Amino acid sequence: MGLFSARSNSNFEITNFSMEKHDEYYQKGFACIDPYVQLHGRPSRRPNIDKIKEGINYLDAVTKINPDNWAAFWLKGKAHQALGYSGSAYIEFKKAFDIEKENADVARELMIEALNLGKGEEGVEIGKHALSLNPNNPGLMGNLGLAYLVNGEIDNAENIVEEAISIDPQDAINKQILNIIREVKSGKRPQPKKYSDLMN
């Protein structure tokens, strides 16, 4: 995963930033990017780089027209995420979060990319904020557990994930997270420094 922004090689340049173009550009950007957005429960598709970059180009125009359109920033974050550009995804999710702090999905994506960049302390704070929006949500509790783990707070990680499992004993993902935490705690697994270390 790189820290560099994806550069558009589209064969067009958007120069019309008028408000009446806002919705048209958003819909075109969404159509380009949506098939490749990584969502839980949806099979990932091999990214069409040119199509995704075209979508980013449209959404760049949208956010020039309306800098308060948090959904456009969030979608650009998902586009950069699909391309593997964690640095760029983090920037776009941060812009979305700065506008819309009451959406747990926005906070979750920002937390993941913060962890991808090794920003464990920031990931914990964002994870806590996301959980405050939907307390006792096992998925958000598991996410916070991962943030604690990357930040080296092993006991906090174990405690919050155990609590999540007590709420939903059938949650296979949290059970897997708890196994990883306990492997780190016992020394069987190295301390992860970023989110991608958890995939090994």
Residue 97 exposed, middle or buried by CB count within 10 Å (0-12, 13-18, 19+)? buried
Question: 4, 87 in Cβ contact below 8 A?
Answer: yes
Q: What is the pLDDT of residue 11?
A: 46
Q: Torsions phi, psi of 176, nearest 5?
A: -65, -40
Q: Is the pLDDT of residue 27 over 70?
A: yes
Neighbours of 197 (CB within 10 A): 17
Measured CA to CA, the distance from residue 164 to residue 145 in angstroms comes to 9
pLDDT digits (tens, 9 = 90+) for 144-169: 999 999 999 999 999 999 999 999 99
Measured CA to CA, the distance from residue 120 to residue 143 in angstroms comes to 12
Report residue 8 as tokens: 């558009």
Question: 35, 16 in Cβ contact below 8 A?
Answer: no
pLDDT digits (tens, 9 = 90+) for 5-25: 333 344 445 666 677 889 999
Count of alpha carbons within 13 angstroms of residue 177, beta-carbon side: 29
pLDDT digits (tens, 9 = 90+) for 39-63: 765 566 788 999 999 999 999 999 9
Average pLDDT over residues 72-89: 95
Alpha helices (H) in 100-171, listed in sequence order: 104-116, 120-133, 138-150, 154-167
Domains parsed from the chain with CATH numbers: 15-100 (1.25.40), 102-200 (1.25.40.10)
Count of alpha carbons within 13 angstroms of residue 49, beta-carbon side: 8
End-to-end Cα distance, the chain:
15
Q: Is the pLDDT of residue 4 over 60?
A: no
